[in-house]
Structures are given as structure tokens and as C-alpha cells.
Structure 1
Amino acid sequence: MEKIIMDVNQLKIYRLACKVLEGKLKVKDFARLINKSYRQSQRILKKVEDKDFLGVIHGNTGKTPHNKTPEHIEAQIKDWLSYKYQDFNITHFMEMVLENEHYPQMPKKSTVHKLAAKHGLVKGVRRSKRRSFKPRPRMEQEGMLIQFDGSNHVWFGSERTDLLAAIDDATGKIVGAEFFYGEKSQHCLKVIKDLIEENGIPEAFYMDQAGIYGKADREWESQIARAFEQLNIRLILASSPQAKGRVERLFRTLQDRLVSELKLYNVNDIEEANKYLKRFIKKFNKQFTVKPIEDEKAYRRNVFGNLDLILCRKERRKINVGNIFSYQSVTWLIDEKRCYRGRQVNINTHVDGRQSFDIMGREIRPKPIKSSKFLGHKKRAV
């Protein structure tokens, strides 16, 4: 004999229905007590009259729902979220399964979220109460404004590294990014140089006034300002993180998505991380870039000279009698017949670490003739 189980509410409805059928309770009172309409109460009474207690049991009781997720699919999703993709949010998880696993039976997002919640596998996000800021409208053209910032984080492995990134304000496209050890402005110049070589010269840069240079590296701030002046780029310094909200949100996204993917593919050194970063940026831009208001780009062609000599650290020294000058406690000789006494020599430290010398743009090749211990005194940029 089939065993039928009634819950407390069904038992209550059955007992009240029996009282109505026995004439001890009015239909309108029955409807009020079970919180149903008068017509629905009449239908319930008819079922109880015909089927006795079976009349209050729903017709689908004991049946498997036609849209229930099969157990083997639920088990597979649980296994992935428990181990291989444990650091991924639901949306990112589904994207990576589609990319890596080619799993044709993946349910829709709401179903996956319910299954993850059922097993306690939903990746929670702690959000503190913050002051709200009115969003600034996007720029009309790509290249009108580049938001630039750095983030010190455990991106891969166990050590903290710096990720410098630039995002176009009009489209949300990542136009430059690279991992470095230490957020120095020499590294900033490298990312900016790569950006310009690939896209052209933008109209303006939006940077953090305090965070990007660091208190111990103020000299580099003047170097970037000098380089931007030479390239006719407007430099806007933001006084708060909220002022450059798009690049701040970018880093929140990267700390979620990029960190998870670097861990998934066992990336543990900076060389491999930078290789994977290029692949990640292509995928990110394809998925998240928006169409600008105007199709015409604001990037400009470089007509200002050699970027190697502009986006670099520049220092000057005065040439003395005998065509000699001192730099970092080393005496250098310009071995030429021409006399340069009283002129200024430019010492250029490039983003790749190379060093070059020039006088009014003409390259020279001086020779070191005497050296002593360099104490590392800082000089202001010219």
C-alpha cells in the first residue's frame, strides 16, 4: 500500500472541510480560515467530498519535477565549484566552463546559483556602506582621456606585485597593462610608451596625485610631467580614488577575475603572468568594451620625436674644461676634437634600463675615465 504523508497545513484544511461537509461550519468562514477565495474553497470542498483526504493533497506530490536538474549534472557542478573553480564567481565560472570544459549540459545561471547556494559554494562579496557619487559621463571619443593607476596585490604566487593599467574612458577598453615589482614611475613610463606606440598619443591622462608615484619617488613625477608636456598631453591629477572611478572598478574586476585565472593555470612568476595578461586583455576587451558616442578616434600621430628620448628619465650635467663631466661619482670624457666646455649634456635613462647621452639632441658616446663610490643623491628633473 502506498504511504501518503500530509503536512500540518493539509491536515488542518481537511479537518475544516469535514466540518463544512457536516454542516458545522459555513463556507465563507472556511475560506477565511484557510486564507483562500470563496471559489477556491468550493473547489477544495468538492475534491474532499469526492476523494476524502486525497482531495487536499496536491496532484504533483511525490512526482519528480520535469525541470529538475539531473543528479549527475548537479554533482559535476558541485565538484567544479568545490575544487577547480572554487575561487570563481558564478558568472565567471560559467564562462570558464564554456571556454575550457566544453560542457553542453550547463544549466542557466539562476539554476547554477541555486545549486551553489544549496551546497554553500556561493562566493560572497563583502560590501561596506559607502557614500554614493554621481557617475561622470563617458568621453565622446576613444583616446580623449586615459585613466591610469596601479594596484599592489597578491596577483599570483605568494608575493605582492604591482599591476599598472590604463583604461580608455570612452570605451572601457584596457589599452595598457603590465606587472612589475614596485610601482615606480619608470614602470609607468614603459606602460605609457607601449600604449602610445600601439594606439597613438591620447589627449589627456587621469592619474592619482598621491598613489602612483609614492612619497619616496617624487622626482619621477616631474619626469612624467616633462614627458607629457613634450608630447602635448594634458595631465590631470585626481585627488581621490572616486575621481577616477572607472580604473578603480577595473582593478576590483581584475582582482576577482584575473587572480582566479592566474591561479587556475598555475601562473607563479612575473614573466608568465605578463604573457597571460596579454591573452586576458584581449578576452576582457572583447567582452566588456562599449561603443563610444563618436566613431572617430582622438588619438594623434607622434610628430614630437623619438619616444625613447621623451619617455625616459632625463638629467643634465655641465661640461667642464677638457670635455669632461661628472655623473654618479664617475668622471666621463667626450673624446672629440670639438670643444663642449660650458654646454649641458643630457643623461637619458630609458625604460628598459639602457643609458644614452646627447647634447642638444645629438647623441654622443662619452667614456668613463675615473669612478668612486656613488652615494645615490637624488636630482630633480629638468
Structure 2
Amino acid sequence: MIMMNSKAQLAVDVIAKVAEGRLTIANATKLLNKSRRTIERYLHRYRKVGVQFIVHGNTGKAPVNKTPDNLKETVQQLIREKYYDLNLLHLADMLEANEHIAVKRETLRCWAHDIHHVKRAKRRRSRVHKHRERMEAAGLMLQMDGSPHRWFGNKKSCLIAAIDDATSELFAEFFPSETTAGCLKVLRTIIEKRGVFKTLYVDRAGIFGGPKRSNFSQMQRACEELGIEIIFASSPQGKGRVERAFDTLQDRLIPELRLNGITDMISANSYLQHVFIPQFWHKKLTVKSKLKNSEYKPLPPHINLDDICVIKQYRKIRNDHTFSYGNKFYFIESPIKHSIAHQKIEIRSLSQGKFNAYFAGRQLKINEVVEPIKASMEDIEIQKKLDVLALADKLGNVSEASRLSGVSRDTIYRHRRLIKQGGIDALRRQETPNHRHLNRTEEEIEKLVIEFSLQNPHLGQAQVSRQLRANYSVEISPAGVRYIWLRENMNTAALRLAKLELLPKSA
């Protein structure tokens, strides 16, 4: 049985009429829109096999270039288990590089759709922004920003990146967070590799200065010293090149770090600098600038990046040539001919909390000023007790030591026993939780004050004192009432009402 569509049925009818002599070959070519040679072939096959001439010879046969089914199953299994977070283009690259499997893009797309596993791009409605052409030469403008994300492992880290607006050349490094030190390090890397560029295009984050920092920051100061102009973007779309770079990095770099088992920052930076950027980014995503001449300028010989790409702070020098930094005092030991009191000293922060001090471009030798620690009142009392015991031992007469020091003989003997039992620490005042001061109000009166205050929360301390004296014959001053309230955290009417609500209903 042969299934034919309308076009095939027309071809069969026309060729049958030609074979019967009811239709000429010239008219058949017009009806079927075929050449005379094709009609003659159809006629020859019709006379030989009948209506089966209309069936193509390759029908039912597998194409010569058909991809094997086992390869399809292998690729789909790899997508499910290993490459589940890659887009199609990245997936094709990884299959060819790691698995040595080369599959055409459309074939790979069909296989991924069959298992409903296609990573789709985010679609957002956005405002229409005017297109801006790239800069004409490399080094005219670089865009810089930071992207906090879970790049590797379970903890968030920040990728600080800068991209050349003309060529899309990328400079990037991972840091624990977006800090001034990280931005300065990336800036230094750019200058060491390429040279000093013209402008830096950034957002209005406080790290880069702007209104949030009263137009001052360490990055802004470093750029001014290098002759780099900072331009602040009014919107994220303004520096869209670095924003789109982060989209690509999050889409491709994160899966590659996962596939390579990278979970620490050192390994991630190594992979980023030696594998991802040179082998993928610079080979596939960079472009040539319109002008061949680069605007990167070599660093002048008299400029030292160690003096610029560092966090600088300033402190005022006191009359005795000391200054404070980090809640500590430091003394300037360098020999100075004239006094520099009331001048500003420059502090350059180093790693691990260390720093160097500079004045007029000269590094100073400094030492920390160690101030004596004042003894507490309790330590002073213990020392007095030890002095009395030492006096008694020196005189060999406790009575004479008692007369000279004014301390009773019983106290001296008790202090001796305490030292024998527990050492000097035994002389400290030991108070048990139930210990009550001698001048403290009696416990029964305290309970009465608390109970009466909760029954009459609107009364003040003077009224409570007066009514307790009149109704219960209890002598307690208004100050005594207030001390009890403070200990029980009920010194306001609102606190007394709140405590009353917490008491059982029967009370």
C-alpha cells in the first residue's frame, strides 16, 4: 500500500495518461512543472514498476550522515548529570574540549529540547537607551565595577573587573568583598600590563568617591595622582559593557569553576587569570579598535605605584612628636632638625594591619608608646592587705603591726589563713549570689514595696513612701523605693504595668 499526497497523486495520473497516449510529454511538463528529462524518467519507471515509480529510492533508509542514537543518549546523559548549568554555545565548546564530541548547534539544540533542558536567557522589559559607539582607540576609557555573587563554593565573593571600552579587553580578580584595596589592586594590574589610560567610567558607589564621599575617596585620589579622569555613570546602562561582561562571566565562569572542582579564592583567581581570560575571553570576545594607535601611556619613571596604589590617611602630629592611629599612640624616633608639631603625617596602610608613616615624602621611624596600666581599686586594696602582712612578718609581732597599720589582729590572722588556703586571689572579695549588703533594705520590706507598687502602678516613689509609712508603719525613703524599682526593672509606670500582666491571675 502506497500513501500519496495530492501532489504525488497528480504526478501518477499525468504519467499514466502519457503512457496511454492520451497526453503529450510537452503538456505533462507544463502540468507537473518538471523538465522533459524528468518526465521521460518517470515514464520509463512507470512502465517498469507501475505506480511505485513515485516513491523515492531513499524512502525508509537511514541518512548516510545520521548521528548514532548511542551518541545522542550519551550527550543527553552528560547534560543531565554534568553540564546542567551551561548554555548551548558553552555546552558545545565543553563537549568538544572535554569529551571530544563535536555536534552541530542545531542538532544539540534539538537533543537538549527533547529532555526539556535548555538554559534560557532572562528577558526583562527595559527602557530604550541611546546606542553609544565604542571608543575609537584602546586606553581611552575603561569601565570598572564589582559583582558580589556565589562564584565558587557556598560563600559569596566579589569579582572586581575592568573592561576596555574599545577592545573589550578584560582585567579581573576575585576578592572577599568590593573594597578600596581590591579596586586599587586591579587598577595597578592594568597599569603594569598596559600602562596609564585616559578615563575610568564607574558608578556612584562610595569606593569611587562622588557625592557619597564628598567627592573624595582613595580611588579618586590615586586616579588624580596618575592623571586618570573619573566619570560617574547616571545609570547602570551607561556602563553597559562591564554589566554585560558580568552576565557572560556568571553564565560561563561559574560552571567551569564547578567542573574543575574549584572552591577557594586562590585557585579561582589562578584559573581566571591563566585559563579563562587568555583562552576564552581574549580569543573570542575581544575586538579590534578603529584606530591602531593605543592611548595607553607608559608609567613615568619618577612615579612609583607603591606610593600611589595604597590607602593613605593623615594624622596631626602633637607637640611631643606623637600621633594616634588605630586607638594607639606612636612616637616619631627619626632625627628631625626642626619641630614638625601640628603638621600632618601620612599613614600608608599595609597588609595585616601594618602601616608606614611618611612626612614630606620621607619614611619615618616610629615606635608604639606603651602607657602604664592603672590598677583597679580592688587591686589597690589587695596590695594594702599584702603590705600589712609583710609588716607583721618583718616585725614578728602581729600586735605591733596592728597598732601601726590600724588593721585589727583578727583581720591580719584571717588574711594569713586565706593566703595559705587559696593564695593571693583568696584575698579578693567573695560574694555569694544570696549575699546582701549591710545597708540594703530588709527583704520583707522589699517584698512589701514591690507588691504595693504593682497594686498601685500609677503612684510615684514619694507617694509610695508616704502611704507605706501611713498604712503599714514602714519607714522607707523615696530614694529607697526607687533603688528597689531599679533592681526589679520597674522604675516607670509602663514597666510596672507590664510586670503586673506577667503575674499569675490569682496574684
Q: Distance in 1 between matches of 2:179 and 2:363?
A: 27
TM superposition shift of 1:133 = 2.6
Separation in structure 2 between the aligned mates of residue 146 and residue 366 of structure 1, nearest angstrom: 40
Residue correspondence of structure 1 range 1-80 to structure 2 within 5 A: 6=3, 10=5, 38-39=31-32, 54=52, 57-80=55-78
Aligned AA (1:360): A
CA shift, 1:128, in A, is: 1.9
Contact kept, 8 Å, 2:334 with 2:365, in 1: the verdict is: no
The alignment partner of 2:369 has SS state of: strand
Count of paired positions: 352
Higher relative contact order (CA 8 A, sep 6+): 1
Q: Following TM superposition, by how much is the alpha carbon of 1:326 offset from its aligned partner in structure 2, in angstroms?
A: 1.5
Contact 2:334/2:366 (8 A) holds in 1 = no
Give secondary structure in 2 for the equivalent of 1:206. strand
**8 Å Cα contact 1:149-1:212 kept in structure 2:** no
Whether 2:156 is the aligned partner of 1:160: answer yes
For 1:329 and 1:276, the matched residues in 2 are separated by 40
Q: Mark the CA change 1:70 to 1:359 in structure 2 (over 3 Å): closer, same or farther.
A: same
C-alpha distance in structure 2 between counterparts of 1:362 and 1:56, whole Å: 97
Q: Distance in 1 between matches of 2:371 and 2:72?
A: 71
Q: CA deviation at 1:220?
A: 9.9
Deviations 1:12-70 (A, max 9, x none): 97599779989xxxx9xxxxxxxxx9315997x97889866646655433111222112
CA shift for structure 1 position 242: 0.8
What SS does the corresponding residue of 2:143 show, helix, strand or coil? Answer: strand
Would you say 1:325 and 2:320 are equivalent positions?
no
2:184 counterpart (183, 189, 197): 189
- Looking at CA atoms only, which structure, 1 or 2, has the larger radius of gyration? 2
Query: Residue 10 of structure 1 contacts residue 56 of structure 1 at CA under 8 Å; is this kept in 2?
Result: no
Counterparts of 1:1-382 in structure 2, within 5 Å, are 6=3, 10=5, 38-39=31-32, 54=52, 57-101=55-99, 103=100, 106-174=102-170, 176-210=171-205, 218=213, 222-279=217-274, 280-283=276-279, 284-303=281-300, 305-338=303-336, 339-350=339-350, 354-370=354-370
Kept after mapping to 2: 8 A contact 1:330/1:371? no
Separation in 2 of the partners of 1:140 and 1:340?
Answer: 50
Q: Secondary structure at the match of 1:325?
A: strand
Question: Hey, which bits of structure 1, 4+ residues long, moved more than 6 A?
Answer: 15-22, 45-50
DSSP-derived class of the 1:159 partner: coil
- Give the distance between the partners of 2:330 and 2:269, measured in 1 at CA: 38
Greater strand fraction, Structure 1 or Structure 2: 1
TM-score, structure 1 as length reference: 0.80
TM-score by length of 2: 0.62
CA contact (8 A) 1:163 1:178 kept: yes
Structure 1 portions without partners, runs of 5+: 28-36, 373-382
| 1:371 to 1:168, Cα distance in 2 relative to 1, 3 A | farther
Identity, % of aligned positions = 36
CA drift of 1:157 comes to 1.2
Contact 1:154 1:160 in 2 (8 A): yes
